Amino acid sequence: MYIQLNGQIIYYEKHGEGSPVLLAHGNKETHKIFDVLIPELSKKHTVYALDTRGHGLSAGAKEFHYEDMAEDIAAFIQALELVKPAFYGFSDGGITGLLAASRYPALFSALAVSGANLTPSGWKFSAKFPVQLSYITSKDPLVRLMLKEPHITKADLARITIPTLVLAGSNDIVKASETRRIAAAIPDAILQILPGETHGSYVVHSPKLYPLLDTFFSGHCY
């Protein structure tokens, strides 16, 4: 299905019945990375899986900013008149979730993020350097987004007052100190560093994410 938000055409899919849950993918991905997660979540929830602006079946964009993507999430919830949905975001999706929850503290019932970073310096050098090299030749605006943004402060995170789950792999491209910083700055956030997992090994086409989200959402969804 398609919806127009903030001048953008956004594609999304809706599955299941029950309390609403939104899913947001990472950079250069689509909602299809959740193909294993969605059938499980939709047994208990109405799942809305979006292609963020410039991704998948959503319309393209000339430039990208995480703040705009966060506003798309807020507009989506308002347009569909969703009441206190839960939100899960991976990587870029996690960043937009943090921003949306900070700007609109009453928007979600619960927030789960994985592989998110507060600034570009939150990446490990070994992961960031190849991306920098690729941008030199590609000038891809989505790659530029990762290299220039976000800029989320401790004060931004302190405004998030809903139950929050912060996930990352022990072998993530995001520094462990960055993940801990996120969890420490959000009041009463739950932190889980998953042993042996990489940035997306437990997320992309994986059955490992559902038990983590099911346990968390079961206690906090409307």
Query: Which tokens go with 122?
Result: 């939150």
Q: What is the mean pLDDT of residues 136-147?
A: 95
| Phi, psi (degrees; rounded to nearest 5) at 172 | -70, 160
Task: Give tens-digit pLDDT for 40-94.
Answer: 999 999 999 999 999 999 998 888 999 999 999 999 999 999 999 999 999 999 9
Beta strands 8-15; 19-24: pairing state: unpaired
Output the DSSP codes for 59-125. Answer: PP-SS--HHHHHHHHHHHHHHTT--S-EEEEETHHHHHHHHHHHH-TTS-SEEEEES--SSGGGB-H
The rounded percent of the chain whose pLDDT value lies above 70 is: 99
Task: Give tens-digit pLDDT for 159-196.
Answer: 999 999 999 999 999 999 999 999 999 999 999 999 99
Task: For residue 218, name the pLDDT band (cuts at 50, 70, 90).
Answer: confident
The confidence score (pLDDT) of residue 11 equals: 98
